[in-house]
C-alpha cells in the first residue's frame, strides 16, 4: 500500500523545552493512525506541523510524495477537526458546510449534492436547515467532521475531537468515525491522550513521551507487547513488582522464562487479567485478600503480597462469591513482562 504521509526527522522545540525531536513516521493510504501520549508529549505539535499551523525547526513533511512545508494551511491537502467545533452559530448547517465549497467555486447543484451525501455519511440526513445551537454536542461534532470530509483532504487531522463529549457519546462517535473512515477510505491522523480511545479506533498507535516516539504498533501489539517501561505503565491497567533475573525471571518463589536475557534487578509487569488466585495452600506467592469490587460481569480483587506490595487482578464474578476480605490466598501469574532496571 502506498505511503500517503511521510514525516522525516521532524524537530520543533519551544522556549520551555517542550516540543519534539527527530520524529519520523510513514502513514499508508487509508490508514487511521493515532498519536497517543500524556499532555506535553508532542503529539499536537506533530499534528499542527502536518496541518501547517506550526513551522518546524528541521525535517520535512511529504503528502503524496510532495513536501508541504512551504505551503500555508489552506493550500495543503489536509483538513483539521478541532476539539471545539468551530461552527458559525449564525449560519445553518447547510451554510456552514457550503462555505468552503463556495470558496472553491463549486456550482450550486454540486454543492447541494455533496452536502446531502456527506450528511448521510455522518448520520445527519435532513439537518441542512438547523442551526448549530439546535444540535447536541455529538451532532455538532459530526457536522465539523462532515465539513472536513467535504474538502476531500489527502489527510484528515483530528485534534482530540471527542474530548468535550460525555462518555457514552464519545464511544458512539468513535464507532461512527471508524465507519466513516472505512466507507471513505480516508487517511486519518488522530490525536488523543485517552488510551481506550486509541486502542478502539486505530490501525496503528504511535505512543509518544517527552517529544520522542516510544513505540509504533497495532493496538493488540501495544497492549500485549509494550516495548518500554513507559508504554507498559501508560497503556491499560498494569501491576508492577520487583524481581531478579538470572537464567530465569524470579519473584517470591515463582519463576518465568528469561527470553530477553535480562540480568540483575528487573521490573515485572503483570496485566490484571493474568493474575491467578489460588487458595492458601496453592502454588504461588502468599497474600491477604484486601478488597473485592464487583464491576459488572467481572470483579477486581486487591491482594496484599507483603514485601511485593498490593496487586490487583480481574476475576470472573462467580469466582469471587466465596471470597472474603482478610482471607489468605496465593497468587500466580499466567504471564509476565520484564524490563531491566539498569
For residue range 250-270, list pLDDT tens digits in order: 998 899 999 888 999 999 999
Q: What pTM was estimated for this model as a whole? A: 0.88
61 phi, psi to nearest 5 deg: -130, 120
Q: Which CATH class is domain 237-340?
A: mainly beta
- 175 pLDDT band, cuts 50/70/90, is confident
User: Rounded distance, CA 119 to CA 37, Å?
Assistant: 32
User: Rounded distance, CA 42 to CA 191, Å?
Assistant: 10
pLDDT > 70: percent of the chain: 99
Task: Return the HEC string of the chain.
Answer: CCEEEEEEEEEEECCCCCEEEEEEEEEECCCEEEEECCCCCCHHHHHHHHHCCCCCCEEEEEECCEECCCCCHHHCCEEEECCCCCCCCCCCHHHHHHHHHHHCCCCHHHHHHHHHHHHHHCCCCCCCCCCHHHCCHHHHHHHHHHHHHHCCCCEEEEECCCCCCCHHHHHHHHHHHHHHHHHHCCEEEEEECCHHHHHHHCCEEEEEECCEEEEEECHHHHHHCCCCHHHHHHCCCCEEEEEEECCEEEECCEEEECCCCCCEEEEEEECHHHEEEEECCCCCEEEEEEEEEEECCEEEEEEECHHHCEEEEEEEHHHHCCCCCCCEEEEEECCCEEEECC
How much is the pLDDT for 149? 85
Residue, of 15 and 225, whose pLDDT is higher: 225
How much is the pLDDT for 293? 92
- 297 pLDDT band, cuts 50/70/90, is confident
- 1 pLDDT band, cuts 50/70/90, is low
Q: Cell numbers of 72, please?
A: 500555508
- Segment 31-47 shows an average pLDDT of 93
Residue 276 buriedness (CB in 10 A; 0-12 / 13-18 / 19+)? middle
How much is the pLDDT for 270? 96
- Segment 153-180 shows an average pLDDT of 85
Q: Is 42 left (phi over 0), alpha (psi -120 to 50) or beta?
A: left
Question: Taking the chain, what is the end-to-end CA distance rounded to the nearest angstrom?
Answer: 40
Q: Cell numbers of 260, please?
A: 530477553
Residue 331 has pLDDT above 90, yes or no: yes
Residue, of 230 and 104, whose pLDDT is higher: 230
How much is the pLDDT for 118? 86
Q: Which CATH class is domain 3-231?
A: alpha beta
| Residue with cell string 500485549 | 224
- Residues 30, 3 contacting (CB under 8 angstroms): no
pLDDT > 90: percent of the chain: 54
Range(s) for CATH 3.40.50.300 in the chain? 3-231
95 phi, psi to nearest 5 deg: -70, -35
Which of 81-85, 201-205, 221-225 has the weakest average pLDDT? 81-85
Range(s) for CATH 2.40.50.140 in the chain? 237-340
- 121 pLDDT band, cuts 50/70/90, is confident
User: Distances from the Cα of 169 to the Cαs of 59, 162, 177, 191, in angstroms?
Assistant: 38, 8, 12, 18
pLDDT tens digits, residue range 58-116? 999 999 999 999 899 888 999 988 877 788 889 899 999 988 888 888 888 888 888 99
Amino acid at each position: 500500500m502506498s505511503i500517503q504521509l511521510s514525516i522525516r526527522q521532524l524537530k520543533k522545540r519551544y522556549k520551555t523545552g517542550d516540543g519534539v525531536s527527530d520524529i519520523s513516521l510513514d502513514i499508508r493510504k487509508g490508514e487511521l493512525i493515532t498519536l497517543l501520549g500524556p499532555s506535553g508529549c508532542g503529539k499536537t505539535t506533530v499534528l499542527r506541523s502536518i496541518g501547517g499551523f506550526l513551522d518546524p525547526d528541521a525535517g520535512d513533511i511529504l503528502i503524496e510524495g510532495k513536501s508541504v512545508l512551504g505551503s500555508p494551511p489552506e493550500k495543503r491537502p489536509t483538513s483539521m477537526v478541532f476539539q471545539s467545533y468551530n461552527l458559525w452559530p449564525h449560519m445553518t448547517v447547510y451554510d456552514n458546510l457550503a462555505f468552503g465549497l463556495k470558496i472553491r467555486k463549486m456550482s450550486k447543484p454540486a454543492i447541494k449534492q455533496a452536502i446531502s451525501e456527506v450528511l448521510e455519511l455522518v448520520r445527519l440526513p435532513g439537518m441542512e436547515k438547523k442551526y448549530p445551537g439546535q444540535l447536541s454536542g455529538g451532532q455538532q461534532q459530526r457536522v465539523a467532521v462532515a465539513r472536513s470530509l467535504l474538502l476531500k483532504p489527502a489527510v484528515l487531522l483530528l485534534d482530540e475531537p471527542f474530548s468535550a463529549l460525555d462518555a457514552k457519546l464519545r464511544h458512539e462517535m468513535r464507532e461512527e468515525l471508524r465507519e466513516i473512515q472505512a466507507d471513505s477510505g480516508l487517511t486519518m491522523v488522530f490525536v488523543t491522550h485517552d488510551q481506550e480511545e486509541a486502542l478502539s479506533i486505530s490501525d496503528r498507535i504511535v505512543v509518544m513521551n517527552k517529544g520522542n516516539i516510544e513505540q509504533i504498533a497495532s493496538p493488540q501489539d501495544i497492549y500485549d507487547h509494550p516495548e518500554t517501561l513507559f508504554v507498559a505503565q501508560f497503556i491499560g491497567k498494569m501491576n508492577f513488582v520487583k524481581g531478579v533475573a538470572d537464567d530465569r525471571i524470579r519473584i517470591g518463589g515463582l519463576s518465568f522464562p528469561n527470553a530477553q536475557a535480562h540480568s540483575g534487578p528487573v521490573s515485572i509487569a503483570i496485566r490484571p487479567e493474568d493474575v491467578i488466585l489460588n487458595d492458601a495452600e496453592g502454588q504461588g506467592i502468599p497474600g491477604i485478600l484486601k478488597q473485592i469490587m464487583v464491576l459488572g460481569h467481572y470483579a477486581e480483587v486487591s491482594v496484599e503480597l507483603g514485601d511485593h506490595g498490593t496487586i490487583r487482578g480481574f476475576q470472573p464474578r462467580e469466582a469471587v462469591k466465596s471470597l472474603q476480605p482478610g482471607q489468605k490466598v496465593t497468587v500466580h501469574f499466567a504471564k509476565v513482562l520484564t524490563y531491566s532496571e539498569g
